[in-house]
A and B are shown apart, each in its own frame.
Chain A
Amino acid sequence: MVNVLERLGHEVDYPEGQTCCGQPAFNSGYFPEAKKVADHFLDTFADADMVAVPSGSCTAMIRKFYPELYQDSPQAKVVSELSGRVFEFTELLVNQLGVTDVGAKLKGTATYHDGCHGLRELGIQDAPRKLLENVEGLSLVEMDEAQSCCGFGGTFAIKFPQISTAMTQVKLGSATQTEADYLISGDPSCLMQIGGYFSRQKSSIQCLHIAEVLDQQ
């Protein structure tokens, strides 16, 4: 992500004090705990012009759920201002910077998995596809039910591993049908789930984050 943004002429900083956005606690229902972690995020990123996030899920947490977490709090204004400057990587490229071709090259066939948070909380659907369509040598094939959840869902994957795995089993079936070489997604957590299951099932499909693809020269 840093390489791509720098190649496009942007200056990128990486605040070394950063940790987590707090979503694991939030999604488990522990809102006050999540807010403490969110406080740390706000301290770390408050001065950024724009925050680029390589995950739809973390972006949704900050942009959509932070305002809910901080409603009626003295920081509400800071949060709402910062939330407006936080973007998922592909929407940042396409919608904010107006870039759809980053000059990347990758040979093969790929299918794109929409992470649920990016798709349904933020409405990101076209941006990653536009970027991938312009990757030289790469052809994009839609899989059946591309917008169906991969089964990760945070602690859900640990609390209900049987359901979580069954969902990924369906995903493997859909991806395999496309005969794609790569399954690409904008969310590391989906990729951990999908990649982990695909690897266990000895699938030949390689799972890649979209930033890795866009960085290929």
Chain B
Amino acid sequence: MSQSTNPTTQFQTDANRVTADVDRRSFLRSSLRGYQTTRDATQERFLNYESARIAAGDAKWEAIENLDVYLAQFADKLEARGATVHWCSDSAEARDAILDIIKKHDAKSVIKSKCMTTEEIHLNDLLEKEGFEVVESDLGEFIVQLRDEAPYHFVFPAMHLKKEEINTLFQEKLKSINTDDPEELTMVAREVLRQKYLSADIGISGANFGVAETGMISITENEGNARLTTSLPKVHIALMGIEKIIPRLEDLALMLPMLATAGTGQHLTCYNSQLGGPRQDDESDGPVEMHVVLLDNHRTRLLADPEQRDALRCIRCGACLNVCPIFKNVGGHTYGTTYQGPIGSVITPHLRGLKDWKHLSHSSSLCGACSETCPVKIDLHHHLLRNRRDAAGKGQGGLAERTLMLGFTIVMRRPWLYRLTGRLGKLGHVLTKPIHGTRIDPFYAWKKTRDLDDPAKQSFKQYWKSRK
């Protein structure tokens, strides 16, 4: 996953490694199988899940289509209660804004609750380089941080690890007792983390939603760690992508159960907190300062694309990863992106450039399981196709592919040439039989793992003629 390698090469290499690891793949598949069963049961409890998807998509759509208005409303309301809102157009600006706040408070340690947007701007690297202690408080994030790894899945960061591996990790890094009991392992982490909350000067969180009407961020979590992160330290910084806006408080009544159902199969996630500012004069607890850092980082580029801007409706539930056969077989790290799976493959080319990230749009069978499951009805797999079109249109497919496509067009528009090509194909199939499936086989990419049936002795056309 080194940054210096070309993303396509890195993807292919990592995909080779993970697909060969049958044990890890079946572990992943069985975890996600469990998720799917629970999710299906939860979906059944909706009177009409399909209508709920449409309504959730519409609520986000309204926010995205009127982002200028809702963002301003959101910021005004927050500032009226004493929060500071920072508008950042890219990663560098967001990093600077956050670093300034931390330095101003002469802080030493930072506690974080799960926030993929901080991964997007590589905040941890920066803060550690600047000499701050940074601790991830979400259990999964805590685990991958100890392993010095990126999150594997943007909702389940450590889903690739078995409890035995976590046991080994904790013994090594935390001098923990020898146990692979999940509850005991959780207690080990909790003991370490409790101390960190108390000593942290700064708490950094993300936001699942930003409610424009009331100027509140809404945070969804299962462990209570985000509550502690956002309320114990004297300064709370929330980093939020501008697309997280929803128009009204009542929209949460739909969005929270949708996020839970699609994300984890829960009816409702354990803790849902709405935070609308720092400690007020008549309050006795909560942070003294609250900063909301709004991040664009090319989201507006996606907003300007009338075909694909619905991707900004994403609520980062992870459902598309959970059903994606590609994700299940290559795992999260292979993508080399902040956001893995179908949604990552759709938006990364917009956020980080089509030329370097178009391979993610090709590494899909376009099966459509992602679009079918998306709770806000993003047209995910068709967007992958549109990215392919845009890449081809810019000539990024390369000369060989362009020539092949030209040849395809010439052949398919001329029935006699089509028949001739068919015959040549048959001949090629017979002639290459002695080298079948070997590296010098021109059909190696196919035949390395798959046979090809012998062609029928008679083509359908010949059969048709003989019938007459």
Chain A contacts to B: CB under 8 angstroms: 14, 16-20, 22, 24-31, 33, 36-37, 39-40, 116-117, 119-121, 147-149, 151-170, 192-193, 195-197, 199-200
Contacts and interface: CB of A to CB of B under 8 A. Distances in A.
Contacts of A37: 408-409, 412-413
26 contacts: A19-B415, A25-B405, A28-B405, A29-B391, A30-B392, A31-B392, A33-B409, A36-B413, A37-B413, A39-B413, A116-B369, A120-B371, A120-B372, A147-B369, A152-B365, A153-B366, A157-B365, A158-B446, A159-B362, A160-B15, A162-B19, A163-B15, A166-B329, A167-B365, A169-B22, A199-B450
A161 B448 contact: yes
B388 A33 contact: no
Contacts of B451: 195-197, 199-200
A24 B408 contact: yes
A182 B328 CA distance: 26
Closest 7 CB pairs of A and B: A153-B365, A29-B388, A196-B450, A29-B392, A149-B367, A120-B368, A116-B367
Contact of A16 (B19, B326, B415): B415
B29 A33 contact: no
The dominant DSSP class at the A interface is: helix
B445 interface: yes
B432 interface: no
Contact of A20 (B12, B20, B412, B464): B412
B366 A27 contact: yes
A153 B324 CA distance: 13
Interface in B371-422: 371-372, 385, 387-393, 397, 401-402, 405-406, 408-409, 411-413, 415, 418
B25 interface: yes
B452 interface: yes
A36 B412 CA distance: 9
Contacts of B329: 163, 166-167, 170
Contacts of B367: 116, 120, 148-149, 153
A40 B409 CA distance: 10
A156 B412 contact: no
A147 B373 CA distance: 13
Given A16-B461, A162-B15, A31 B449 contact: no
Contacts of A27: 366, 385, 388
B272 interface: no
B388 A28 contact: yes
A163 B330 contact: yes
Contacts of B371: 120
A29 B12 CA distance: 20
Contacts of B412: 19-20, 22, 36-37, 40
Nearest to B36: A145
A159 B363 contact: yes
Given A120-B369, A154-B366, 15 more contacts: A16-B461, A28-B401, A30-B392, A36-B412, A37-B413, A116-B368, A117-B368, A147-B369, A162-B12, A163-B330, A170-B329, A196-B453, A197-B449, A197-B450, A200-B450
